[in-house]
Amino acid sequence: MATRVGMVSLGCPKNQVDAEHMLYDLKKEGYQIVSDAALADVVVINTCGFIESAKQEAIDTILEFCTLKNEGRIKAVVATGCLAERYRDEMKKEIPELDAVVGIGSNSRLPEIIREIFAGSETVCAYGSKTELPMEGGRIISTEPFYAYIKIAEGCSNNCTYCAIPAIRGKFRSRKMEDILDETKWLAENGVTELVVIAQDTTRYGEDIYGKSMLPELLGKLCEIEGFKWIRTLYSYPERISDEFIDTLAAEEKLVKYVDMPIQHCNSEVLKAMNRPAGKEYLLELIEKLRTRVPGIVLRITLIAGFPGETQEQFEELCQFVKDVGFERLGCFAYSPEEGTKAFKMEQIDEEVREKRAEIIMNEQALVAERYNQSMLGRTVEVVCEGFDRYAECYFGRGTADAPEIDGKIFFTSERKLRVGEYVTVELYDTLDYDLLGSVTELGGEED
């Protein structure tokens, strides 16, 4: 009987793509992949190590499966991903129950490492060069079958003072466009209708190998591929959103009118301390340009509250910015001091103050989101069906304004049975916190 392997992937979609590559390699080598990790012989935990809360989640997950190992329910536990890469010696020392600690550069060795574990090796530690992280090769798609992520680059060279990603993942490195196009054609041929383009900074794509940002050209070529209905781009840095990018977004029908920007702050002094070149005036001009040239666009931003040195006045400026601009989607995180970053050595604000400031921003955004949702009532929107809620007795899904696993949902009724991945037209009639309620008025797909 083949050794059963379960994968638990934590953190961002970029990490999830890495997990999908590892699952493919394991299956190719004869391992049996099981969906319930608790029923596996070996559990691989693909960790996130970006901020404190993510690190704690990863550690808690590792300890949970080590407990199952001690109870004899599973045989081995392997840690890989960002936490394993970032804390190599500490992982082995602090969690001796781990059978292997695998850095991102050794992901492709995972089938071999598991064989070593069962051959009786002590804790296996493997740390290949970061540049050896596989960006090509087969994948086992772990999302719902109608959507998938396509990672167009790895690493980051922005060197924001608060961020550990360059140290964990290495410098920014793009994939060749032809390799990306080959993979996306395979996704389309296998039933993917919503493609989500990701990288640590998608707008930087191509600069390292083509000498300039090639994201607009890449997006144009992706739109030519038959089968995709929606193409969405995440992690677009405001400093690199060009007129060409905006023109492409406006012109291509398949590109959903949704821009995800990690702005992080609006105060120019705070942004400078973060090593972010944009200032408040630039951001306001960019937002106005996007909303003027792409009617109906949905802007999603991320912010950091409580960055070292942020004064009360600068925080109040950020609050006013959120109120005045009225972003359709927003996430705010309390600053997390990360060792090895420049900001870690700066004078820190108390954790309680940081958390409170982030909470205030999200409370402000709740009011903005409520007004936005109210403005949507009475409208009809295209929605992809993601499933049926037995308790609410209705379907749920997302519109173009909602990225998978990030934004809200639309709950809706239908007179006939729908299939997951089917696109329908829904009339919106009520709100539910960050979500919307509606009913199908026109069926967008073929009947079963």
In the chain, CATH 3.40.50.12160 covers: 4-132
Task: Give CATH for domain 4-132.
Answer: 3.40.50.12160
Q: Please list the residue range(s) of the chain that carry CATH number 3.80.30.20.
A: 147-374
386-425 CB burial, b ≥16 within 10 A, e <16: beeeeeeebbbbbbbbbbbeebbbbbbebeeebeebbbbe
Please say whether the structural domain 147-374 has been given the CATH code 3.40.50.300. Answer: no
Reading the block at residue 264, the tokens are: 């992080």
Count, in order, helices (H) and strands (E) of the chain: 14, 19
Cβ count within 10 A of residue 23: 24
Sequence letter at residue 402: D
pLDDT for residue 276: 95
Q: How many residues does the chain have?
A: 448
- Note whether 349 and 335 are within 8 A (CB): yes
Assign domain 380-442 to its CATH superfamily.
Nucleic acid-binding proteins (2.40.50.140)
| In contact, 61 and 8? CB cutoff 8 Å | yes
- Residues 201 and 14 sit within 8 Å (Cβ to Cβ): no
pLDDT computed for residue 443 by the predictor:
54
Rounded to whole angstroms, the Cα distance separating 448 from 432 reads: 30
Structure tokens at 85: 């890469």
Query: pLDDT in tens for each of the 448 residues of the chain?
Result: 799 999 999 999 999 999 999 999 999 999 999 999 999 999 999 999 888 899 999 999 999 999 999 999 999 999 999 999 999 889 988 999 999 999 999 999 999 999 999 998 888 999 999 999 989 999 999 999 999 999 999 999 999 999 999 999 999 999 999 999 999 999 999 999 999 999 999 999 999 999 999 999 999 999 999 999 999 999 999 999 999 999 999 999 999 999 999 999 999 999 999 999 989 999 999 999 999 999 999 999 999 999 999 999 999 999 999 999 999 999 999 999 999 999 999 999 999 999 999 999 999 999 999 999 999 999 999 999 999 999 889 999 999 999 999 999 999 999 999 999 999 999 999 998 889 999 999 654 444 3
Q: Where does CATH 2.40.50.140 sit in the chain? A: 380-442
124 beta partners: 100
- Report which DSSP code applies to 214: -
pLDDT in the model for residue 123: 84
